[in-house]
Structure 1
């Protein structure tokens, strides 16, 4: 009875929890009100007598409730803010980007959410950055990216994105150094966002079809939902599918397991409707790669490599087969049905060539965070004036944004986390329970999916995106297991030393 009573919430604890939740809600509303009021003040200053009281009231509420809340927040605050940023990054009610790399009210609200996450991280995550090397590398990358905004040609975008990167780095450190239950809350938050976007996208498709379609490719009828494009919705649905497998596995039999199954099928259908080939390919190959790694199928891996090599040699030795092979894949994969779409990767090869010319001009420090939208149109455009807003490759995107210095830091974070998760999965006997095993599998699948997707999209490089938030949670998962293993080794060494 005494043991059970020690874990029960007393009335005073319940009141304190409700008070903190109320303070958090007031802080969030006051912050968003402040951002909207500032924009309103700039756009319509003639209503100053109405805007000033709102501004002062929001500032008072923010300082009064916000400071106390950030000093002692509930454990779920970080997961909530990360999920909110994951939703906000690509959420849009417009078609296309703001012209000239500028900002609008929607962009400012997203920046406000990023600043809120960074404020939370400054109070609760900055002291945890040094507890694991990969967390320090992620923070260093984010700090350098924010610094690069000082010389960016799109400074407003760069500063906002740099703040988001710092917030993600701090929240990642916070998540990695908390309990297993708290870390799982971060995954659950991202999963809820993916499921919510899936349901809302289908509702939008049924009510306002033109708004739900990606009009940049009208003939393909691609689903974009409430995101900027079909290629934005695709990786979010892929994350939902991967995390959904963990939720289904861990849910108790009954309505909750069935709900996760229904949502999983819906997200799979939404991913197919996006026709995001990079997301589909990343999801498929990522799942296969993790299955091979998990089962240590080295022989199967070698056979698959030999099969691929044999196909390559056959195509090279017999050029007559090349045209037939390309025609087969064109009919299967390309939207236009032409082989040219595959040989130049839907025009990406031309964009990559133009990006390389940019990189050679400023290789070490790049053009600054957010500058890609400004710099690529200067060197790449067709006879009708069409251009690109991203490099469609995470390495090129990063090199243009933060140069070799920042790209090396980002690659170090990605590679250390990926190989670390591979070790965790292959040595799963070191994990404490099935929940940890499923979380490690989920993180590794997401890492493989992101890497494959990032080969032809900017993904987590350059400006902050939903994939950057997902990368942060994957890094936090790896760091959590790495620190757990280190602690167990220290305990083991102490026991050995005590025997002497």
Structure 2
């Protein structure tokens, strides 16, 4: 092979890294300060939208090259979750042609962007492995969070999000670079991956057998495992986790907080055995007890009284909890609209146009897919979420468990993934579904086994 052929191949991992960083930093970016400004992600002609489209074009080009030139990329897409993800993209493209006329062009563009990013993230996983994909995404999303904090602190009129909790009352949340729930979603995904990189351990068994078998399987194991580095890197990951946690609380997103805590717990569940786990359990119970006590002392009443409810709600009204912050009304509206177009849906990225301004989305992952692309897409999504539950939550890799649990829990009350321009969490979800297929499993009596057996002395 000539040196001219080797140079582009050597540069490809760095190009992939730059696109991953750019996607994590730019795709969630949306300059809004209130719900009245919320619009379709692909409808704006601002500079951030043009940058996102350019980045999507670059990602699609890399993805197509990977599909044509990389056997490993094709193998990942030929797996069960890979085929389901591709089928979902095919349905998105087909149904977008029949979407509502006012959003048809936008829906077609969103469907093509999904397919392009699916091919790209699969190519990235096959080329540089899960660890480097994760690091690149964490770097990009950290830039996004730092920019969000700079607006929030330095330019508060541009860095906050005003949300109406009633006809006359409002609450101020961290915003500026997107809806607070989107910012919180990025923050939790960043924090979970920072935690995975900090702890730096996977329970995946190390390769066993002959030296030949170990050498042959080791590259694939390295591609899948998330491992940490030296003490300086540990400080960096601690900083990433701190920024992510602070951002999540500043957005006042209770869904992200609860789902993030559950995901972190499932990630580290293998470490909760023995003295360390007992200490964590006792500390957790004690912390909850202290919180309940503080609420009671602050309100002067029981922890579930009206005064105490005011501490954990935005409006101080208990109905905010019973209606899941108005989501039950939004679900009713979404179901009524789905009934009008059950098989084709209204089109990707159409909720902000079709639904009422108070909704801005379906606030449920399955409703989001059904609303966007019809019944077939919803059935495919049910299968993918089932795969996420059966294989993702039970995975021996901590980072996969964390991503899947967060998507499953948050998806109950949020759209969570499958945005017009995929954010970090969507890309991580795809990686978590496909990554286990990188692990090489030899068939019985393979060439390496035959060589290993022939090298052993006969009895």
- TM bucket (normalised to shorter chain) is 0.7 to 0.9
- Per-residue deviation, 1:72: 8.2
- Per-residue deviation, 1:78: 2.9
What's the counterpart of residue 402 of structure 1? 373
What's the counterpart of residue 87 of structure 2? 140
Count of residue pairs brought into register by the alignment: 384
* 1:362 matches 2:341: yes
Cα distance in 2 for residues equivalent to 1:100 and 1:85 = 14
- Per-residue deviation, 1:497: 8.5
Secondary structure at the counterpart of residue 13 of structure 2: coil
2:28–2:178: 8 Å Cα contact kept in structure 1?
Answer: yes
What's the counterpart of residue 223 of structure 1? 174
1:293–1:422: 8 Å Cα contact kept in structure 2?
Answer: no
Residue by residue over 1:188-241, the C-alpha shift from the partner in whole angstroms, topping out at 9 and shown as x without a partner, is 11111222122222222222111111123594331124x211111101110111
What's the counterpart of residue 157 of structure 2? 210
Alignment of 1:487-498 (within 5 A): 487-490=440-443
Could you tell me which of 175, 178, 183 is aligned with 2:124? Answer: 175
Secondary structure at the counterpart of residue 246 of structure 1: helix
* Distance 1:414-1:489 versus aligned 2 partners, 3 A rule: farther
- Per-residue deviation, 1:371: 2.4
* 1:353 matches 2:332: yes
1:76–1:185: 8 Å Cα contact kept in structure 2?
Answer: no
What's the counterpart of residue 310 of structure 2? 331
In the superposition, the TM-score normalised over structure 1's length comes to 0.68
Secondary structure at the counterpart of residue 417 of structure 2: coil
- Per-residue deviation, 1:292: 4.3
Any gaps of 5 or more consecutive residues in structure 1?
Answer: 1-11, 21-70, 301-322, 378-385, 426-439
What's the counterpart of residue 318 of structure 1? none
Q: Pick which of 264-273 and 474-483 moved more.
A: 474-483
- Per-residue deviation, 1:255: 3.2
What's the counterpart of residue 38 of structure 2? 97
Structure number with higher helix proportion:
1
Cα distance in 2 for residues equivalent to 1:133 and 1:496 = 27
2:393–2:400: 8 Å Cα contact kept in structure 1?
Answer: no
Residue by residue over 1:241-268, the C-alpha shift from the partner in whole angstroms, topping out at 9 and shown as x without a partner, is 1111123234444433223222321221
* Distance 1:173-1:238 versus aligned 2 partners, 3 A rule: same
* Distance 1:171-1:184 versus aligned 2 partners, 3 A rule: same
* 1:392 matches 2:357: no
Q: CA RMSD in A?
A: 3.3
* 1:117 matches 2:59: yes
What's the counterpart of residue 472 of structure 1? 427
Cα distance in 2 for residues equivalent to 1:479 and 1:364 = 28
What's the counterpart of residue 185 of structure 2? 235
Any gaps of 5 or more consecutive residues in structure 2?
Answer: 201-227, 279-301, 455-459
- Per-residue deviation, 1:145: 0.9
- Per-residue deviation, 1:401: 0.5
* Distance 1:464-1:404 versus aligned 2 partners, 3 A rule: farther
Cα distance in 1 for residues equivalent to 2:142 and 2:419 = 26
- Per-residue deviation, 1:414: 3.0
Cα distance in 2 for residues equivalent to 1:145 and 1:185 = 29
Cα distance in 2 for residues equivalent to 1:413 and 1:99 = 25
* Distance 1:133-1:328 versus aligned 2 partners, 3 A rule: farther
Secondary structure at the counterpart of residue 31 of structure 2: coil
2:418–2:426: 8 Å Cα contact kept in structure 1?
Answer: no
Alignment of 1:13-412 (within 5 A): 20=8, 74-95=12-33, 96-98=37-39, 102-105=43-46, 106-125=48-67, 128-129=73-74, 130-153=77-100, 154-178=103-127, 182-216=129-163, 219-225=170-176, 227-250=177-200, 251-292=228-269, 325=304, 327=306, 330-377=309-356, 386-412=357-383
* Distance 1:88-1:275 versus aligned 2 partners, 3 A rule: same
In the superposition, the TM-score normalised over structure 2's length comes to 0.74
